[in-house]
Structures are given as structure tokens and as C-alpha cells.
A and B are shown apart, each in its own frame.
Chain A
Amino acid sequence: MLPDSHRCPSNLIPTNTFVKLILSLLNKGKFSKPVYDQPIKEFLYSLKTIKFLSIILVFCILPAKPQNSTITDNTFYLPRSLKSGEVTHNIGLSSTKLPEDVIETDDSFLSPLFTYRLKVGILDNLLAEGSFESNIVTFSFASGLKWNHNFGDIRLSVGTDVAFWFGRLKSYGFDTGIDGWNLSPNITLGYTFPNFSVSIKSEVMLILTQSTRNGDVHTLNTYRTMAGYSLAAYIEQPLWKKNFVVIGFKANYARFYYPLWAGFSTFDRFFFLPEFVFSFNL
């Protein structure tokens, strides 16, 4: 947390006009696109704009000043109960370092993923969660239930998400489609400090079913059920006024990382995929 005496005014946040100015400058085609010999690299490059926008967001908020607010009220990842019908939203970006063995380059491609999540209160300790994730060629829709309980300052959440996802690619020599259903049991522990909260979430990623089409050939992949598991830490704190941001780090250990489906990895071994998360609680 920045000290209370920090005096950076909130008008340091660029206005929409300012962002538009940057975007218009970027879109003038002055920046040449490298030519890659592999379509997977080409498609990863096409996602760099999103990565760049995420950098803009991070830099824009750095000088801003946090204001006093009730820490728990505006958190998203922190396990907490919602009133029946109460809705909270979270929108942001994550960026993942992909395994060198799969993408076959030691250049650091940070694969970006746009995320939108919401929680809806059902009963006192029960809530529903939904999410949407996309990296332009991949789309994931998930929903699940979570049960929350407080043990003093420590908060616990246990739940399961079911996700349907699909990917499409019809260029660069691909005529490919893939879709699948995943199951993700998860457990979250949270703790609130005076000025911020920390949530630790552990998740297992199981593949229920997955089918792939390349041209006229369809296959059903059933040989990998355990896709991987992850451990993540999310820190939620106010950025300005009551606007909360989430900074997170997720350690994925996965045999199959669904946003990287176009890499067609056939390795039956676990890779470490570090993921940086930055998002806003709406």
C-alpha cells in the first residue's frame, strides 16, 4: 500500500481521450510485424496488442492513490458471503509464460487472456460464479457453485466450476476447431489485512471431454483426464476511491493448458506456466 500521505491525484489516470490517442498512434501501422515461420508464433504475435493494453493499464494505475474503504465489501476473490441476488463483477487480463518446449522458442511469449467473472449470492453461504475468458481464437464459459465459511479472520470457500470452451482457427494453414468440457474443483483461503486482502486459491483442472477437428478428420481425446492443477495468490486492494484492483500470480502445472490448444502439444508431462493476473473489481 502507498502511504496515506501520498498525494498523487486521481486525475493522473488517463482519460478515455488519452487512451484513444495512444491507440490511434499504435494503429497507424508504423510498427512492422515480424514474420514468423510457424503459424503458432504468428497467432501469438497477433495477441500482443492485448498484452500491450495490459501494460498500459498497469502503468496507468501505478501512481494512483488508494482511499479509505471497507476492504471486504469490494473484493471478488476473497471468500465472502453475498446477499441473495447481490452481484459482483471482475474484469481483467492475465498473461502466461508459455513452455519453451511447446512453442519452441526461448523468446518470452506472454500469452494474454481477457477475463470477465461474476458472482451472484444465492443463500447465506452459497453463491454462484460465472466466467468468460478469451484470447480471440479461444472462448471459455464457466459456471459453478461456491460455499463460504468464516473461521475468524480466515475465510474459506469450496466449490466446483464446469466450463465449456472452444477454439477456432481458419488461417495460416489451419482449418481447425476444438471444443471441450472441463471440471475444476477448487478451494480458496482468504485473509484480510487492514488495507488489503489476500486469497490463496488451489484448483484442479480435469478434462471431461474434448474433441478436435482438423479439416475432415474428427477425433475425441480421452487420453488426458488430469489436465493440471494450480496455486494462485490474489491481492485485492483499493486503487482510487472504492475502486479495487486485483494483482495475482498463478502457478499452473499443466499437461494441457487450454488457451494453448493451437500449439497441439502432445507431451505427456507437466509444464510450469506462470501466470500474472491484473483485474478490476466492478
Chain B
Amino acid sequence: MKKFTLILCVGVLMLLSSCDNGVEVLQPIVDPSGVLATTDPVPNKSKPWMEGIYTVESGSSVFGKQVVLKWSNDNLSIFTSKNAGYAVLKGGEIDSVFYFEGYWRFRTSTETGVLSLQISKSEGGAILTAKDSTGGEIVLRGSFGNGTQPGNAEVILRFLRPFSDFVKQNKFYILAHRGGGRNSDYLGVSENTLQIIKQSEGYGANGIEIDVKLSSDGVPFIYHDDDINLRTTQKGVLWGNIEQFTWNLISAFVTLKNGEKIPSLIEALDYIIEETSLEFIWLDLKSSRNEIPIVTEIVLEMLKKGYVKKRDLQIVIGLPSEDKLNNLVKVKDFTTIPTLCELDINSVRKANSKYWAPRWTLGTQTPIVLELQNEGRGAFVWTIDDPAFIESFITEGKFNGMLTNYPSLVAYYHYTR
């Protein structure tokens, strides 16, 4: 009898242990009424002179020995190789003094904190605001904190060099997985949402991958999993295979993990064109049905819109399986549809895909990559997060881009080339 009780206890323990690991990331709050409220926006002409490689003279516990500074729209981002770390800052300028307020985050762990930086007039401020500036030595000084605590640890970043000619002359796509990251990265916003797409450029991405499903009434929308579940959504009344519900029911009753609504494909692409500078969109088809005709129609329409808006933007339809490839070739003039093929190179040629995208666990496959590049195609590798392999693939591989959950880390290794 006791044995049974023991088995029972072990069983109950096993069941109880099926709960979440309880990860909580404390989001640092930057005071909007702080110093930035009294400054002017950073002049666009100053931004390129700030970009480059900086030596970390103080603050290596968070920033390592060397960092990359890169602007994306109004965000100044800092990328480091340490724990796939990054910082995202808003900036302002007054009297040739630059102020930056934001947060830093280790992507591989849950550590985060506030960050404040400043460029004084004598340490680069004057150079950056000069009419005929050609750049020069810039020093950022400031402080950082841990969690929601105010910053009191010193950080000093000294300009080392601008980006190399190789970086400036070779386009490399840093593609953020699921619009910017997974729910398991605890970014404060949910995967595959407009909110995370908005943040993706701050993480270092210049392109994104998003997942496309199809509602029962034929509306393509952005969602990864087959079912409505607690990994992706908040608890609600609608459960089961998400593609078995109409778009209206999904819109009315499904709320994503961090409170967002599921965006339709049209909403997402429209948002990308209107609100971001992203240059590459990879639509990963996840439907159990044939969504290619309707997705193609939407993509072609959005590409036209992007062209009118003079956006440097590519949108490609991913072909992850033979089924999707077979669905594609049934479409009239399929060779003119912009696609990205994850299958072998014969399938790439059959679909006339612009890009080939093998899984990273197959290695750099450099001879095949070069062969396809000679045919005028590109090659991406997915979904690579291992820091050592990211470095190796960038230094040894010949890919045109990389899909990752750690765009800041890819950005660091790419921009330091």
C-alpha cells in the first residue's frame, strides 16, 4: 500500500512539475519626461558618423570588450558578443551635447537594465554637429543598472573604427525569426505581432521571417503553432486547431501572450511598409491547406504598394515542403512569383526561387551556395542561434543572410567584419 502511495506521490510530483519555469524579465522603464524631453531629435546627418566599432573602456561586465553602434530609424542600438547582448536607446541633442536613454538586455538570459549615455561637446558632440563633418573620435560616457534599479555602474565607449568597406559594399540580410524573436525570449511583446516587428530593427534586423496560417474562411494571418495554446496565447474560451475557426472568431476571442491581437497578413505587410525600414520579408507558410494563391495575390499587391512608396523591400513566399512546391507550380506564371525554397537546389530551380534556405545544421555548404549565387540567386541559412556557429557561419560561410532569434549577435559579427 505504501508503495502505491509512493507511486502516487511521484506521479503527483511529476504532474505538478509540468508548470512553467516561471521566467520573469523585469522591463526597465525609461522616464519619458527625463532629459530627452528637453532635447531636439538627433540630426540625421550626425547618425552615420556615430555608427561603427567602439572599444569598451568601462562596463565590460555587460558590454564585453568591443561593441557595434548602429542606427535604425530613431533608435540607436548597441550590439555585443557577450550573451548576445544589445541595447536600444532613444537620443536627443542640445547645444552639441548628445543624450541617450534606453535599456540593455542579454538575449540568452533574462538580465536587463537601464542605460544612459552622453556625448559631450568636446568628446565628439562638436564634430557630429559640424556642418562639414567628416567624423572623428567619439566617446560615449554614462551609466547602466540592473533590473529596474537606476544605473550607477560606469560605462565608457570609445570610437575605434567605422564599418569596413566589405560591410558597406555587401548587402547582408539579418532576418529576425517570428518577426523579431520567440515568446521564450521574453521580449515583452509576443512573437509574430506588429509590436515585435516594430522592435526588430532595434535588435539589429533588417528583415524578418513571419509565419502564415489560413483561417477556415480563407484569411491569411500571422501565427506559428497549429493550435491555440498557452505557449502563444492568453487563456481564453477558444481552443483547438486555429485554422478550423473563422477569422472573425479568431479576432474576437484569441489574445496573444502579451495582450496583442493576431494580425492578418495584410495588416502585417501594410504595417511593415508604412512603419518600418525593413528590407526583407520571408513568409513561412504554415497552413495545412493550399494558401499559395491567396498569399501570392496579397504579396504582389503589397510589392506594388512598396514600389509606389519607394521602399527597398523584398517579400518572398517560403516553400518549406514538397507539398507547397507542388501547390506553387499549379499557379499560372509561378516562376515570376518571388519565392524562397528550403528544399534541394533542383527544387530551387524548378520553382525559379530567388533564394535557397537550407537548415543550418547541414553546415555552410559553400560550393552549393556559390553555384546558386552564380545563377543570380541568394542563399540564407536558418534558424541559427548558437553563438559559436553564428560566428563561424559569418566568417567561413558565403550566405547572403541569416535567420536567427539573436539578430543582435548576427549584427555584431557581421558589422565587425
Contacts and interface: CB of A to CB of B under 8 A. Distances in A.
Interface of A: 1-3, 37, 58, 62, 66, 97, 99-102, 104-106, 108, 169, 173-176, 195-196, 212, 214-217, 219-221, 223, 235, 237, 247-249, 251, 264, 266-269, 271-272, 274, 276
Contact of A97 (B14, B83, B229, B358): B14
B363 A175 contact: yes
Interface string B402-415: 00011000000000
Contact of A215 (B4, B13, B361, B387): B361
Interface stretch (B16-24, B51-59, B133-141, B306-314): B16-24
Most buried by A among B4, B362, B406: B362
Interface stretch (B65-73, B106-114, B195-203, B372-380): B106-114
Contacts of B360: 214
Contacts of B393: 217
Contacts, number: 125
Interface string B228-239: 011100000000
A247 B2 contact: no
A223 B360 CA distance: 21
A219 B386 contact: yes
A104 B108 contact: no
28 contacts: A1-B1, A2-B4, A3-B1, A37-B226, A66-B3, A100-B21, A100-B231, A104-B182, A105-B229, A105-B231, A108-B18, A173-B358, A176-B361, A195-B2, A212-B386, A212-B389, A215-B364, A217-B363, A217-B389, A217-B392, A249-B13, A264-B361, A266-B84, A266-B406, A268-B83, A269-B110, A272-B21, A276-B14
Contacts of B83: 268
Contacts of B21: 99-101, 271-272
Given A100-B20, A266-B386, A266-B406, A215 B365 contact: yes
Interface residues of B, number: 49
A32 B110 CA distance: 40
A99 B23 CA distance: 12
A215 B17 contact: no
A215 B364 CA distance: 7
Interface of B: 1-4, 6-7, 10, 13-14, 17-18, 20-21, 23, 83-84, 106, 108-110, 182, 184, 225-226, 229-231, 286, 320, 358-366, 385-389, 392-393, 396-397, 405-406
Given A235-B6, A266-B108, A104 B184 contact: yes
Contacts of A276: 10, 14
Given A223-B387, A266-B385, A268-B106, A175 B231 contact: no
A104 B184 CA distance: 8
A106 B386 contact: no
Given A214-B360, A216-B364, A1 B389 contact: no
B7 A215 contact: no
